[in-house]
């Protein structure tokens, strides 16, 4: 029953992403220059948070906070929290189809603290929460800088 609920949540989030939400997000694997485009499109506040192994570019709006993790001028991960989910179609870019296929095949995927974890061959997406408090992260394991763990991506 829990696994079916996790799959239903992943499918529901995917469908919400296809509906009319803003389409501007830095895309996993894209250059850091895409972050400013996102800030303008979202009319959000941009903050730079330096970290030892990477930089975090955080965009804050009234409904959502998106953190884009950058190393070697490439977005290797994103994390979000807010009243609504981000648009995963735009956020995942070329990785979205892989995520969709993995979500459809993950009828028995593992759950962690109310989160659904969908792992494709090149991308991992973890999302969960409830209406008004949606959280998640997506990352490309092959692009994680040495010494960076998924737990660092909040």
pLDDT tens digits for 18-50? Answer: 333 333 445 677 777 666 666 666 667 888 888
Q: What is the mean pLDDT of residues 46-55?
A: 87
Number of structural domains, the chain?
Answer: 1
Contacts of 7 (CB under 8 A, 6+ apart): 103, 106, 107, 109, 116
Which of the two residues, 92 and 32, has the higher pLDDT score? 92
Is a pLDDT exceeding 50 seen at residue 14?
A: no
Which residue segment(s) compose the domain that 18 sits in?
Answer: 2-152
Angle in degrees, CA 94, 50, 54, rounded to 5: 45
pLDDT of residue 141: 95
Average pLDDT score over the chain: 78
CB 112 within 8 A of CB 98: no
pLDDT at 7: 45
Name the pTM for this structure. Answer: 0.75
Q: What are the residue ranges of helices labelled H in 59-132?
A: 88-92, 96-105
What pLDDT is stored for residue 126 in this prediction?
93
Of 142 and 30, more confident: 142
Given this model, what pLDDT does residue 5 score?
A: 43
Residue 79 has pLDDT above 80, yes or no: yes
């Amino acid at each position: 029953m829990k696994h079916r609920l996790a799959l239903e949540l992943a499918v529901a989030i995917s469908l919400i992403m296809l509906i009319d939400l803003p389409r501007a997000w830095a895309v996993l694997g894209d250059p850091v220059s895409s972050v400013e485009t996102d800030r303008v499109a979202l009319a959000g506040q941009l903050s730079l948070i330096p970290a030892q192994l990477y930089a975090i570019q955080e965009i804050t709006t009234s409904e959502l906070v998106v953190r884009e993790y950058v190393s070697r001028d490439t977005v290797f991960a994103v994390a979000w929290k807010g009243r609504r989910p981000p648009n995963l179609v735009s956020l995942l870019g070329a990785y979205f189809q892989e995520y969709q296929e993995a979500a459809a095949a993950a009828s028995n995927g593992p759950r962690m603290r109310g989160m659904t974890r969908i792992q494709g061959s090149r991308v991992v997406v973890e999302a969960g929460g409830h209406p008004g408090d949606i959280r998640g992260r997506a990352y490309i394991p092959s692009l994680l800088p040495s010494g960076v763990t998924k737990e660092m991506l909040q």
